[in-house]
Amino acid sequence: MLRIRLCEESFVDPILDGEIHTPCHLYSGEEAVAVGICAALTDRDYVFGSHRSHGHFLAKGGSLREMAAEIFCRETGCARGRGGSMHLIAPDIGMLGAAPIVAGTISLAMGAALASAIRKDGRVAVSFFGDGATGEGVLFECLNFAALKKLPVIFVCENNLYATHMPIQECRVEIDICEIARPFGIKSRQIDGNDVLQVYEAGCDAVEACRKGNGPVFLECLTYRFRGHVGPDDNIQGDHTDIRPQEEIDLWLKKDPIRRFEQYLLSGGHITEESLDKIRKEVRGEVADALAFARQSAHPAIEELQKYVFA
């Protein structure tokens, strides 16, 4: 979680300075969802992300250097600098891709789960998507088909209460998103997405159900982004303004998933302040190394501009 947070925060200045050109949807505040779920998976399982997937990529075990290089659009990036922040991929470790199209990878996750069921290889596929994706028809088609075929797929809705700048109450009548899976006969739970242990437990249960042929599972994780929709702030008027109520932001800052887990570890005597400091220092070093690597890497060659582009 710390690796994700420090990485995200390290992008803030380069974004504001214009050094990073790709639109960046930062994941600060939502780390417990990606980490809790991915900790329940193995390298052989599959993950599909969205436009806000830095956390999914890192939690699945993606290389920090390759992610930073991709965000800086360099040849050494995980998509060779062609994709940017929203096209993160690492097939070797099961991160099969992220995409900017809202709900665009849900059917791909279902397809991966179908392949796994046909091959009987025991792999589970996870589809991470936001509350905004519940407005897309493809989600409902996938819920039905996955339920019908009992596919090993976990639908993880990261409900951060907003789709761009639209509060959830203005988008839907039923704001408990977990309810939408029940009519399809899918086991569904709403969990505290800022409590990494709760997410992990729910992830383990869901993985077990899928491996036993009792999938799919739907998890709604309640969470909140600490940064703007895209970039560090909500700059919809061209200025840095966050349209979310300050009291709401303050409330969620108190539920910071990293601080909560640190406090849990400290108060239970599972870790000392000194070891926490050591971890922070190590991760800061890793992040600094990744950014230096990205900055030193070459841009894709101009003569390769149309290579890997398919029309």
Q: Which residues bind ligand TPP (CB under 6 A)?
A: 25, 51-52, 100-102, 130-133, 160, 162-164, 229
Residue, CB closest to Mg ion: 130
Nearer to Mg ion by Cβ, of 36 and 81: the residue is 36
- Segment 137 to 176, residues that bind Mg ion, using CB under 5 A: 160, 163
Q: Report the distance separating Cα 239 and Cα 260, nearest Å.
A: 32
Closest approach of Mg ion to the CB of residue 189, in Å: 18
Q: Report the distance separating Cα 52 and Cα 29, nearest Å.
A: 12
Closest approach of Mg ion to the CB of residue 167, in Å: 10
Nearer to Mg ion by Cβ, of 90 and 102: the residue is 102
Closest approach of Mg ion to the CB of residue 77, in Å: 26
Smallest CA-to-CA distance from 52 within 124, 137, 158 is with 158
Phi-psi region of 231 (alpha: psi -120 to 50; beta: other; left: phi over 0): left
Q: Backbone phi, then psi, for 86, in 5-degree steps?
A: -100, 10
Residue, CB closest to ligand TPP: 130
Q: Any idea which residue has 């991470």 for tokens?
A: 128
Nearer to Mg ion by Cβ, of 129 and 145: the residue is 129
Nearer to Mg ion by Cβ, of 102 and 196: the residue is 102
Q: What is the DSSP string of 203-258?
A: HHHHHHHHHTT---EEEEEE---SS-SSSSS--TTSS----S-HHHHHHHHTT-HH
- Segment 35 to 94, residues that bind Mg ion, using CB under 5 A: none
Q: Two tokens at 252?
A: 């969620």
Nearer to Mg ion by Cβ, of 64 and 177: the residue is 177
The partner residues of 159 in beta bridges, in order of sequence, read 222
Q: What is the DSSP string of 117-144?
A: HHHT----EEEEEEGGGGGSHHHHHHHH
Nearer to Mg ion by Cβ, of 50 and 76: the residue is 50
Closest approach of Mg ion to the CB of residue 51, in Å: 10
- Segment 117 to 136, residues that bind Mg ion, using CB under 5 A: 130-131
Taking CA atoms, 17 is separated from 12, 20, 65, 74, 232, in Å, by 9, 8, 21, 18, 12
Residue 102 binds what, of Mg ion, ligand TPP, none (CB under 5 to 8 Å, by partner type)? ligand TPP
Nearer to ligand TPP by Cβ, of 22 and 204: the residue is 22
What residue type is 5 in one-letter code? R
**Interaction between residue 223 and Mg ion (CB under 5 A):** no
Residue 53 binds what, of Mg ion, ligand TPP, none (CB under 5 to 8 Å, by partner type)? none
Residue 229 binds what, of Mg ion, ligand TPP, none (CB under 5 to 8 Å, by partner type)? ligand TPP
The residues that touch Mg ion, with contacts defined as CB under 5 A, are 130-131, 160, 163
